[in-house]
């Protein structure tokens, strides 16, 4: 039941973002993206520092810092192809075509996020991992971030002048990538002899890149908008409360 709920939550979060584009005017969409990104940025940053990084260093014999750095750099590479849509950059695509590189980059990121989520959930059932308590926090972080990313992706797809049918097909494919990664992680526990903390550390590095970029880019004219500042602190506070 928990597995089904998680899959549904991951898929619904993407379609919520898509429906906001379809039914809310563009000006309000821009404000929703900025505020949700600010909230998710604060949440992801707080979650990384309060929960995942300390436990990774405490419980893993690996040189975790290397894998966190690798994840940070991988995200930097992915954003070369996605154009920074993960933190709210929306760029129009010229011509009626699906932005393949952008969709692939976002899907790779979403797929990697799902793997440690699946391993932690499986570990909770098998009592084989030390970090299964973080699965709920990781799920919440992914869901909170998927909504503004889906808003930005849908906005780009609409701007690309492709048919609405194709827009929702692409959005559906993107919605499935994290559940697929999660199912892979779920079924890999006890099968592959590897330390899945490596993947979690890389995902944490990706979170660090995304969250810090969101926070720094939330400033306008080098000054924080007070409402966005509240959103950042709200996200950080929520991560603290659920720890």
Burial class (CB in 10 A: 0-12, 13-18, 19+), 216: exposed
Q: Buried b vs exposed e over 138-157: b needs ≥16 C-beta within 10 Å? A: bbbbbbbbbbbbbbbbbbbb
Residue 120 — pLDDT band, cuts 50, 70, 90?
A: confident
Residue 145 — pLDDT band, cuts 50, 70, 90?
A: confident
pLDDT at 127 exceeding the cut of 70: no
Encode pLDDT of 14-52 as tens digits: 999 899 888 876 666 677 777 888 898 899 999 999 988
**Range 95-123 average pLDDT:** 84
Q: What is the largest CA-CA distance in the chain?
A: 52
Residue linked to tokens 């089904």: 4
| Token pair belonging to 103 | 């969709």
Task: Record the pTM.
Answer: 0.83
**Range 55-79 average pLDDT:** 88
Average of per-residue pLDDT values in the chain: 82
Cα first-last separation, the chain = 23
pLDDT at 128 exceeding the cut of 80: no
Judge whether 206 and 192 are in contact, CB under 8 Å: no
pLDDT at 104 exceeding the cut of 70: yes
Residue 123 — pLDDT band, cuts 50, 70, 90?
A: low
Encode pLDDT of 184-229 as tens digits: 988 876 665 567 788 889 999 999 998 888 887 655 555 567 788 8
What is the per-residue pLDDT for 132?
A: 47
What is the per-residue pLDDT for 29?
A: 67
Domain boundaries, the chain: 2-242
Q: Which helix (H) or strand (E) element contains residue 24?
A: none
What is the per-residue pLDDT for 16?
A: 93
Q: CA-to-CA distance for 156 and 53, rounded, in angstroms? A: 34
What is the per-residue pLDDT for 111?
A: 94
Q: Enumerate helices (H) and strands (E) in the chain, giving the number of each.
A: 9, 2
pLDDT at 177 exceeding the cut of 60: yes
Burial class (CB in 10 A: 0-12, 13-18, 19+), 4: exposed
Residue 125 — pLDDT band, cuts 50, 70, 90?
A: low
Q: CA-to-CA distance for 235 and 21, rounded, in angstroms? A: 23
What is the per-residue pLDDT for 130?
A: 47
């Amino acid at each position: 039941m928990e597995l089904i709920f998680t899959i549904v939550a991951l898929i619904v979060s993407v379609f919520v973002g898509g429906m906001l584009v379809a039914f809310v005017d563009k000006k309000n969409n821009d404000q929703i993206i900025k505020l949700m990104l600010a909230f998710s940025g604060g949440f992801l940053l707080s979650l990384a520092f309060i929960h995942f990084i300390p436990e990774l260093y405490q419980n893993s014999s690996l040189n975790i810092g290397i894998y966190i750095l690798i994840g940070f750099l991988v995200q930097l590479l992915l954003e070369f192809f996605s154009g920074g849509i993960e933190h709210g950059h929306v760029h129009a695509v010229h011509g009626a075509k699906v932005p393949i590189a952008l969709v692939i980059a976002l899907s790779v990121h979403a797929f990697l996020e799902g793997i440690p989520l699946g391993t932690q959930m499986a570990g909770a059932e098998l009592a084989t991992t030390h970090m299964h308590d973080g699965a709920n926090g990781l799920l919440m972080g992914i869901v909170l971030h998927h909504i503004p990313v889906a808003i930005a992706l849908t906005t780009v797809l609409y701007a690309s002048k492709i048919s609405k049918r194709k827009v929702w097909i692409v959005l559906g494919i993107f919605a499935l990538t994290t559940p697929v990664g999660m199912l892979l992680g779920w079924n890999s526990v006890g099968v592959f002899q590897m330390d899945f903390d490596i993947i979690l550390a890389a995902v944490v590095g990706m979170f660090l890149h995304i969250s810090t970029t969101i926070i720094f880019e939330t400033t306008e004219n080098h000054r924080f908008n007070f409402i966005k500042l509240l959103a950042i602190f709200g996200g950080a506070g929520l991560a603290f409360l659920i720890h």
